[in-house]
Structure 1
Amino acid sequence: MVDKKSAPIAWATLLFELEDTQEHLQKMCLEMNDNPQYDEVEFAIDMAHIYSHLNRAWNGRNATEKQIDDQNLWRQWSQFPADLEPL
């Protein structure tokens, strides 16, 4: 995993992905509770967004400072991890 001191930009990016995940998850839960019309389509969109943040956090956890702005890597990192088994 990236190191806060040796790769501060990569570290900040990792934390951003995790914090954005938390924010969107909280928003989704509130919406599900407050909106009786919240449906499976909205749920799928919200979950895909949340998974993208989690996937980038995991897949980019060892990113170098140079890799952070690489759009091809960003798209790859958005995919579900191949090296993480669900529990």
Structure 2
Amino acid sequence: MIDRNLQPVEWSEFMYELEDAKEHLANLIKEIEGDAAYDESNLRIDLGHVYAHLNRAWRRSMRAVDKRDWDSASQFPDDLKPI
């Protein structure tokens, strides 16, 4: 895992992704609870957005992610198995 003291820029980017995922997940929960019309298509979009942040956080926890790798960094990691 990256070191916050040795790699402060990378650490900041990693934490940004986690904080943004947290914010979007909180908004998703608020919308589901408060909007009776919230449906599966909204969930797919909103949850996909949260996953993209978490996926980038996973990749950024190990190294800096170049802008050219943004799309691939947003994909579900193949080295992280769900439990």
TM-score range, shorter chain: over 0.9
The equivalent of 2:80 in structure 1 is: 84
The equivalent of 2:36 in structure 1 is: 36
RMSD of equivalent CA atoms: 1.0
Q: Going by fraction, where is helix more abundant, 1 or 2?
A: 2
Q: What is the TM-score of this pair, normalised by structure 1?
A: 0.90
- Count, aligned residues: 83
> Deviations 1:46-85 (Å, cap 9, x if unpaired)?
0100000000011221214xxx4x2222221111000011
Q: What is the TM-score of this pair, normalised by structure 2?
A: 0.94
Amino acid at match of 1:75: D
The equivalent of 1:5 in structure 2 is: 5
- Percent identity, aligned pairs only, is 41
Q: Give 3-state SS (helix, strand or coil) of 1:86's partner.
A: coil
Deviation at 1:23, TM superposition (A): 0.4
Runs of 4+ in 1 over 4 A off after TM superposition: none
Q: Give 3-state SS (helix, strand or coil) of 2:76's partner.
A: coil
Q: Give 3-state SS (helix, strand or coil) of 2:62's partner.
A: coil
Q: How does 1:1-87 map to 2 (within 5 A)?
A: 1-64=1-64, 68=65, 70-87=66-83
In structure 2, the gaps of 5 or more residues are none
In structure 1, the gaps of 5 or more residues are none
